[in-house]
Amino acid sequence: MSDTPFFEIPELKQALSRELHNAWVFEETPPIPDIPFYQRVVDDAQKADPTFRQRVKAWVDGYGGFKTTGTTGRWTAVPKNPELEKELYQPLTDIIDSIIVGLGNAQEPNPPTHGPVKTRRVVLTAKLAMEQAGPEDPEDTGVARPLKSCPDISVFGSGPCSASERKGPAKPSYPDTCASFEIKLDDKLTPRVQAQLSVYAYETLIQQPNRNFVRIPLITAETFRLVHFDRGGVHAAAPFNYHTNPVLFAQLIFLLTSLNEEQVGYDTSIRWEDGSRCIIVNASSQWSELDGAWHMQPRVLRLRVVGDPTRPVFSRPTIRSRGTKCWVVRDGDQEFYVKDYWMSRQQSPESKFLADIRGIFGVAEMHAWQDNIATVYGQRLHESDKLEATFSDDPSKKDVVDDRVLMRLVLKRYAGTLNEAATAVHLLSAVRDIVVGHQRVFEEKQIIHGDISASNILLTSDLVDSVANVQTPVTGFQGSAALANITPVDDAQASLPRAPPETLARAALIDFDMARRISDGGSTNVNRMGTMLFRSIKVLSDTRLLAIHDVLDDLESVAYVICFVSSCYDASGSLHRSLPSPFKQWIRADSSVLATLKSNFLAKAHLVTTRFSTSFECEVVEQLILDLGRFFHPHVDRVSDVLGEVERVAKMVDGKRMLPEAAEAAVDDARARLALLSEEANLPVRSYIPFLRLLDEALVKLHRAPPQAPLPPPTPKRPRHHAIPSIDILDSLRGQKTCALVFP
């Protein structure tokens, strides 16, 4: 889904509908589970508290608002045949309030004098619109004003995991929402109702960064239906009659508003402690600088959030996705990043890669990690190894719900993003260092990154804090002349001269959550949620997943990063209000169209750069981009020819002009040819060496540049949110505005 703030609720609903497409599980549709989801939720609570059902039944039996006549019973305040749903609002609000108060959820007993206090309060919010996540400055002309939405009934709370520490909010808000209730005359989950519930879940998840799942009841005059949202999609239990099942109804209301914050859906390892937001990490290993290795040493880290305690410095605004969030935290006098993300079962843990590459030049440095904090299937209390969505575009098979796993990393804190590189030398030196790091990781560990983007390359303090560092643009490396003289004995063994051990990288390549080892084979394009704007043409075109992601795919992404930073920012490092070509076209294109647009771009590679303060810098970088286009275009053409043949074969089969057996043989041949092209692309003499030679030639030109008068400074402008698909203006890692492009 797009990361852009939405201008209208219908636009948000449409985006959520696309995001959750083929990700709904409806339990009344075969295969019907032996135990309904709502019953599994109640049974799980019963295991933790054997007196649970007995306590709730005793309360229902003594509640004056529920009457039994003969063999039937009814919550007396609920009208039997309402003509309008608003006739149900107040009666159901009163019943929910009675359950909260009667079963002890209004406030924890004996609350502490200091520190968090757990409270719950029900509010009829059908006419009280709550602000959705959006622009920080709604008064800025032309900026989307915050959207507002209103669940019919809401329960707000305070406590260790809530946004409010000691008491609920004076004004209803999503950050303080414990539970939302939707009231309808009909319990059918029509597309319209699905979209409405999705908005409430979306806002709760993105405005509560420590929320793992959201459960929203759909209640009519007769039935209760529990709808569960998490990073795998949506799970909707079948409706049941809450008049004939009053104890079950009261149990579910109790659990939805529970003072046990884990039952509500919170990640209880992110909580208030001593007035500060704290993130708990149960780490199993510790790095030793003495022998340069990890050692099993269980420890508990209590990391305090720096800055806004309830707002990460980065958050992926989606429901069904990795749900990546990043905080700046402090441990003693050191600051780190904490990154949480929901790993697909088809991926390997990022911690596994980062632990293996610790100490390698130009890549992220991990301090600690915790795997397997929570799972999608665990939250749904689903025990089998597969859960199929109810609907699919392909009638022959249904999509399998991804049992994503919550992972946590503690990483070295870096200084800024690429748009903060002050000069062309800064920018290209930083890019050069991460390419060298990429090569070392590939050659020494056989790991390929697979998801390079503008937000995955961070500057180190050595580059940001000291312009003096760039007086020699290729400090610590042999220059382009040395590179040109390399004559490897064996192309497969060719590699670049190494930097001296004491050399510090000027940037670090981060986010290895889409990485893989070459020995694992396969494509990284499976269920890909990565940054589409920077994907290689092959990855965009390979819809049949025939090709293997290789070194040139990643280096092509690096080239697009150079293009983006050089042309989409002004000389002050601020993103242009309107993106220039070709990016304006790229961000609106689907995969197939984007592949064609990029291929046309590489053929000409003409780009006007605006990030640099002198015309000479602009000219050098524009020539570099032209040279990079010439470098990549022949390889892209060869790959595109093979993939094009596969598409022609598919059309011939569809037109009954080719037998399936012949088509299968043609596809196998294409797969083999693509594998050979990838083997060639992974050779340093075909990838790293020529790519870095082009960077070094540009750096040498910049180093020898005569004094230049700076270009006129850009007109100052207020930071704003841009109405551009797939771009979100976020607080950068240094508190300035930057553009983090993240495409689910």
Of 701, 690, 685, 532, nearest in space to 622 by CA: 701
d(CA 670, CA 32): 42
Q: What is the mean pLDDT of the chain?
A: 86
pLDDT interval class at 168 (50, 70, 90): confident
SS3 at position 126: coil
Q: Is a pLDDT exceeding 90 seen at residue 525? A: no
Side-chain-side CA neighbours of 409 within 13 Å: the count stands at 25
**Smallest Cα–Cα separation from 489: which of 684, 690, 635, 697?**
684
The three-state secondary structure class of 458 is strand
Q: How confident is the model at residue 713 (pLDDT cuts 50, 70, 90)?
A: low
Quote the CA–CA distance of 195 and 16 in Å, as a whole number: 7
| Contact predicate 218/192, CB 8 Å | no
Asked whether residue 669 carries a pLDDT value surpassing 50, the answer given is: yes
Average pLDDT, stretch 540-549?
86
Residue 687 is predicted with a pLDDT of 97
The residue ranking higher by pLDDT, 503 or 2, is 503
Among 207-221, 353-367, 482-496, 652-666, which stretch is predicted with the lowest mean pLDDT? 482-496
Measured CA to CA, the distance from residue 476 to residue 472 in angstroms comes to 9
The pLDDT of 232-237, averaged and rounded, is 98
Tokens of 300: 């508990």
The letter for the amino acid at 570 is D
pLDDT confidence tier of residue 497, bands split at 50, 70 and 90 = very low
Query: Which structure tokens are listed for 599?
Result: 């291929």
Query: For residue 739, which amino acid is it?
Result: C
Domains 269-413 and 416-536+549-586+609-624+683-744 share a fold: no
| Helices 246-256 and 86-102, packing angle to 10 deg | 80
Q: Specify whether the CB–CB gap between 434 and 457 falls below 8 A.
A: yes
| Residue pLDDT, tens place only, 13-55 | 999 999 999 999 999 988 889 999 999 999 999 999 999 999 9
Each domain of the chain, given as residue ranges in start order, spans 23-134+143-264, 269-413, 416-536+549-586+609-624+683-744
pLDDT at 402: 94
416-536+549-586+609-624+683-744: which CATH number, 1.10.10, 2.60.40, 1.10.3470, 1.10.510?
1.10.510
Of all residues in the chain, what percent carry a pLDDT higher than 90?
69
Alpha-carbon gap, residue 321 to 323, rounded angstroms:
5
CA dist., res. 717 & res. 703, Å (int): 32
Which neighbouring-strand residues pair with 156? Answer: 121, 177
The model's pLDDT over 460-475, given as tens digits with 9 standing for 90+, comes to 975 555 443 433 333 3
pTM listed for this prediction: 0.86
Residue 295 host element (H or E)? strand 293-305
Q: Which of 5-19, 444-458, 490-504, 535-549 has the lowest mean pLDDT?
A: 490-504
Give φ, ψ of 663 to 5 degrees. -65, -40
Q: What is the pLDDT of residue 511?
A: 94
Confidence of residue 720 (pLDDT cuts 50, 70, 90): very low
Two tokens, residue 156: 């707000």
Closest CA to 240 of 255, 218, 256: 218
3-state DSSP call for residue 72?
strand
CB-based contact 331:301 (threshold 8 Å): yes
The pLDDT value given to residue 490: 40
In this prediction, residue 729 carries a pLDDT of 30
The secondary structure of residue 336, as a DSSP letter, is E
Q: Which fold has domain 269-413?
A: Phosphorylase Kinase; domain 1 (3.30.200)
pLDDT at 134: 56
- 3-state class of 285 per DSSP? strand
User: With contact defined as beta carbons under 8 Å apart, do 453 and 533 qualify?
Assistant: yes
